[in-house]
Structure 1
Amino acid sequence: MFSPYYAWAGRRDPENHCAVNVALYGRDADRWAMTERGRGALDRTQDRFTLGRSSLHWSGSALTITLDERATPHLTPIRGTVTLSPEAMPGRQFPLDPEGRHQWRPIAPLARIEVDLDSPETRWSGHGYLDANHGSDPLEAGFRRWDWSRLRQDGTATVLYDAERRDGGDLRLALRFGADGTVEPFTPPPQICLSDGFWGVRRNTRADTSNGAAILRVLEDSPFYTREVLETRLGGERLAAIHESLDLDRFAHPVVKLMLPFRMPRWTGRSN
């Protein structure tokens, strides 16, 4: 959905504009890969998606992601596997606009992951999360901006979703997902402002008090998108959360689209 090549092609033939996005954050260095490939590199069935040398395979109980990508800009390899095993699958999706043109599906809001990479050499396990967005219109046609965050609390997953729509309306989702697949809406705490990103992207979140959230680490900071780890207070508890802010007015700007190929190159062959 963020592909400049897809936009320049008139948003036609999505199978000719696919990418596997990998973002690794470590103590010493980060690696990022998001190489777009054409339909010649794509092969997919009901339970497998293969793009170049990378693939995603659903076994019925786990999603295995096999990675063989090159990070930009230095072309360092990212190779290995990530296995995500859902702990809860609610089987629901949520409309993000009144017409239902945009849908969000929390596929596995509670999951376990096993990371086994040869390059960079790292192995660990922890909490995981899997969701999907799909829509019939460009995101920037329906929304001005949004903030999203996810945290794990007492065996449940909490997601906060706030969006400003083009029609002047607002989206406010506050959901708690249980290990038994239940979904419980709740009244969200007040919205508070975080510091703007380096490029001026506005960041908001929700917390119990006006000073109840702080940025622990910035993971991504671009002209239209930021991702960070927060320390936040929710329900009287101090917790860690993954948070993102997206400015779609900025994303739609032609200059920003011209900058994207530096982070998202395009490869038209069958492999790396």
Structure 2
Amino acid sequence: MTERGSGALERDASNLVIGPSSVRWEDGALTIDIHEGDTRLFVPWQRPVIGKVRVLPEVLNRAAFALDAQENHIWHCLAPRARIEVEMTSPGLRWSGKGYLDHNRGAEPLETGFDVWHWSRAHLKEGALVCYEGERGDGSLFASALRFDRHGVPEPVDLPPIAHLEPSKWRIARRTRSDIGVAEVRRTWEDTPFYARSELASRFAGEEVVAVQESLDMRRFSSPIVQFMLPYRMPRRKR
């Protein structure tokens, strides 16, 4: 979470280097080498954050999806199901578990294309389910639910009913989808003035699941006070 100048960037077909950290495909896994500092608010020094993360896809999906009619914003769920291995040397932590890998790319800033979005994903007994919805910058709405089978092939399915969630501590409006229109926030992992990521107890495709959910408010992100605060949360370096 450090902003860096173009001189800190290197990339080719298999590698991405940003400053002292890097991402690369190696032995079928996405390997992330982290060498950064933490981002505590109002603290003038940074503790080192050093370690390695490996994301091992269980299935891969080749299809990408446009989030707007002009195709200015593309979402690609590369690995709807994956395993993750984390080994940090500073702080000394290691664990493994279930994972997921996607990315967004676009021809314009996110705050131009979107006002709000809500996203959630859950492992199923076979495959995974991803729900994605929101409001674009022009006021139009979008919503979809994709079920990925055990081979990673996506299929659109009917959207489950809306399940409203309690707002985050920063009063970000959150919602998800659930078979019965009810879901429970178990933990909130990331809570900022414009973004929240949470763990939910929910129900998809007739299964009781643990889901990951995020809500993003780009109107909040664009506000002058949040833009003023960002450099304190995301340090900026030339290299």
TM-score between the two structures when normalised by the length of structure 2: 0.93
Pick the aligned partner of 1:167 from 131, 138, 141. Answer: 138
Pick the aligned partner of 2:122 from 151, 155, 169. Answer: 151
Three-state SS of the structure 2 residue aligned to 1:171 is strand
Distance 2:124 2:220 in 1: 33
Paired position in structure 2 for 1:238: 208
Distance 1:260 1:116 in 2: 28
Amino acid at match of 1:196: P
Paired position in structure 2 for 1:25: none
Give % identity.
Answer: 46
Q: CA deviation at 1:65?
A: 0.7
Report whether the alignment pairs 1:249 with 2:219: yes
Paired position in structure 2 for 1:69: 36
Distance 1:42 1:261 in 2: 20
Paired position in structure 1 for 2:7: 40
Matched length = 235
Report whether the alignment pairs 1:135 with 2:106: yes
Three-state SS of the structure 1 residue aligned to 2:83 is strand
Paired position in structure 1 for 2:19: 52
Distance 1:199 1:181 in 2: 36
Report whether the alignment pairs 1:223 with 2:193: yes
Pick the aligned partner of 2:87 from 104, 110, 116. Answer: 116
TM-score between the two structures when normalised by the length of structure 1: 0.82
Amino acid at match of 2:35: D
Three-state SS of the structure 2 residue aligned to 1:88 is coil
Aligned alpha-carbon RMSD (Å): 1.4
Three-state SS of the structure 1 residue aligned to 2:229 is helix
8 Å CA contact 1:110–1:128 kept in 2: the answer is: yes
Distance 2:151 2:180 in 1: 30
Distance 2:91 2:163 in 1: 37
List gaps (5 residues or longer) in structure 1: 1-33
8 Å CA contact 1:108–1:131 kept in 2: the answer is: yes
Three-state SS of the structure 2 residue aligned to 1:141 is helix
1:95-122 C-alpha deviation (Å, 9 max, x unpaired): 1011111110111111112111111212
Q: Which portions of structure 1, spanning 4 or more consecutive aligned residues, are displaced by more than 3 angstroms?
A: none
Query: Where do 1:82-121 residues align within 5 Å?
Result: 82-121=53-92
Distance 1:250 1:51 in 2: 27
Q: CA deviation at 1:167?
A: 2.7
Q: CA deviation at 1:35?
A: 1.1
Paired position in structure 1 for 2:229: 259
Three-state SS of the structure 1 residue aligned to 2:58 is strand
Paired position in structure 2 for 1:178: 149
Amino acid at match of 1:52: G
Distance 2:133 2:98 in 1: 23
More deviation in 85-94 or 117-126?
117-126
